Amino acid sequence: KAGVTQTPRYLIKTRGQQVTLSCSPISGHRSVSWYQQTPGQGLQFLFEYFSETQRNKGNFPGRFSGRQFSNSRSEMNVSTLELGDSALYLCASSLNPAKEAFFGQGTRLTVV
Amino acid sequence: GENVEQHPSTLSVQEGDSAVIKCTYSDSASNYFPWYKQELGKGPQLIIDIRSNVGEKKDQRIAVTLNKTAKHFSLHITETQPEDSAVYFCAAWGDTDKLIFGTGTRLQVFP
């Protein structure tokens, strides 16, 4: 059974640009959550999607957005990138909310 | 808001010794407590979890204990091996309807 797949693995962007990250959950999983991981702040919850609907959101500015498609694949978008957005972005999938969550390898975003 | 505190931040043990990592949560409604292991360059890997209706769960060399009254839970690794070296995160799922993570423990196992 394939795990959670995140693409791309690495990204370098310039301040002010926007970026889209992709996450393909484990087959059959309908819930996808996104996290930002930085050395200083640890793992911070961004948002969760379930059945194409955002069901929960963390305390991030509106520049961070996401969506989920009918096949459960999810994308997150960050607009007007800032240096502080440099982080490892992790996606986790679960069968349903509050069930075991399995993480992908992450996308390492560097903003220069 | 909901908070999870994790201690210690770093832990060094000799191969074969035991390691214990402790977490405390603030939301008394929390009912699901997973533990993750993250190796360098990889995403967190779920290694064990426990729900609030159970006090202890074991899986080979790994065990988790939960004390709901005191609102704390612990990860116990016995007979540590060098490949256990990683960063370990605890988490809790409660009324906020999302996983809240601890700040992580860097475990180093010396041969």
What is the model's pLDDT at position A1? 64
pLDDT, mean over chain B: 95
Q: Show Cβ contacts of residue B102 under 8 Å, excluding neighbours closer than 6 positions.
A: A42, B4, B5, B6, B23, B89, B90, B91
Chain B residues within 8 A of A66 when measuring between CB atoms? none
Interface residue ranges in chain B relative to chain A, Cβ cutoff 8 Å = 32, 34, 36, 41-46, 49, 89, 93, 96-104
What is the model's pLDDT at position A58? 92
Taking only the tens place, the pLDDT of each residue in A79-103 is 999 999 999 999 999 998 877 999 9
pLDDT at B88 over 90: yes
Taking only the tens place, the pLDDT of each residue in A60-75 is 999 999 999 999 999 9
Q: Show Cβ contacts of residue A37 under 8 Å, excluding neighbours closer than 6 positions.
A: A43, A44, A87, A88, A89, A90, A106
Q: How far is B55 from chain A (nearest CA, A)?
A: 18
What is the model's pLDDT at position B2? 82
